[in-house]
Amino acid sequence: MLNSHNSPRIVCLTGGIGSGKTTAAALFEDLGVAVYYADRAAKRLMEQDAELRESLIQLLGENVFNNLGQLNRDWIAQKLFNTPELLNRWNAKVHPKVFDDFNRWVSCQEGSYILKEAAILFETGGERNCDLSILITAPEDLRIERVMKRDSWTREQVKERLNRQWSDERKRPLADFVVENLDLKTLNLEIKRLHSQLYKRFSQQ
């Protein structure tokens, strides 16, 4: 195990775009589990950490932030996703900050386990920093429909993003638990069952 006996265990939850990983994480939160949303933390740090802000501006230029100091997310996405080398350099600046922020957050938490929700996990070997991992999956057509409705993207835009991500088939063997998210009612039942299992498992250790 990663943590000392008195520290909460770390369960990492991930899933591709449109899988419903954030919805699943929120259901754990409703059950009293402390949840760290890595993507939200990254956004906060990029906008508020002066050292990181300056580093990102040096990498991509002043257009990284708008006049309000907020991330130009669409502009950044266009720059990064078409240039793997730039994306790697960007991640090398952001990920260590998120890692440190997460460790500070964990040190303040109580309970048998906490949840870390992250879009990227297996792709970077992040599961090595978890006690257990959960993969949220869904059929591709359903994922496409969800993202089109949520973000007003075209089918082609969603497909392009999906093609850049690891497939569920590639991630599935690496996960300790796999939850298929077909609808909210079924997902809710699965999360309650899994929470009971995890709570019992970690409370006995």
The dihedrals phi and psi of 37, each to the nearest 5 degrees, come to: -95, 100
Angle at 48 between CA 45 and CA 133, to 5 degrees: 15
* Predicted pLDDT at 1: 41
* Predicted pLDDT at 127: 94
Angle at 11 between CA 10 and CA 12, to 5 degrees: 115
Q: Which amino acid is at 106?
A: V
Phi-psi region of 18 (alpha: psi -120 to 50; beta: other; left: phi over 0): left
The single-letter DSSP state of residue 152 is: -
CA 54, distance to chain mean position in Å, is: 24
Tell me the domains of the chain and their CATH numbers. 1-34+112-205 (3.40.50.300), 39-108 (3.40.50.300)
Extract long-range pairs of 76-83: CB within 8 Å, 24+ residues apart.
81/161, 81/164
* Predicted pLDDT at 82: 80
* Predicted pLDDT at 169: 96
Token code pair at residue 45: 């740090």
Residue-wise pLDDT for 121-168, tens only, equals: 999 899 999 999 999 999 999 999 999 999 999 999 999 889 989 999
* Predicted pLDDT at 121: 95
Q: What is the pTM of this model?
A: 0.91
The dihedrals phi and psi of 180, each to the nearest 5 degrees, come to: -90, 125
Average pLDDT, 10 consecutive residues per value, the chain (205 residues)? 68 97 98 97 97 96 94 91 89 95 95 95 93 98 96 92 92 98 97 97 86
Within the chain, residue ranges assigned H as helices are 21-30, 38-48, 50-60, 73-81, 84-106, 140-151, 155-164, 168-171, 184-203
